[in-house]
Amino acid sequence: MANNVQILTDQNWDADVLKSSVPVLVDFWADWCVPCKTLLPTVEALAAQYEGRLRVGKFNVEENPDVPFKYNITTLPTLLVLKNGQVAEQRIGLISKDKLTALLEPLLK
């Protein structure tokens, strides 16, 4: 995994996501989820493209049950974009890099 993609957990959620000074793209995934693995290169590419403007993290739902329960994450992959501690956008399933870029651009202005 690219080193500009952060591992997010129930423990670091508040500090690294809710209190982030920049928007945060969170990829909720699990080891057994094939579409999640397909999405990984897109997530890593966006982390590199928006470094410094967007925090990007992966959240393993198998190892950290609290946050997915709180945000009602029931389908994988799910992408959340949080800005100022609030969910600004949510997408479920595979999404192209172009569509994700179009979704993120307005939030980064």
CA distance readout (Å), 2 to 56, 58, 82, 107: 10, 11, 21, 23
Task: Give residue 101's region: left, alpha or beta (phi > 0; psi -120 to 50).
Answer: alpha
Catalytic residue among 2, 30, 33, 107: 33
Catalytic residue among 8, 17, 36, 61: 36
Residue showing tokens 């992959």? 77
| Catalytic status, residue 33 | yes
| Catalytic status, residue 56 | no
Catalytic residues: 33, 36
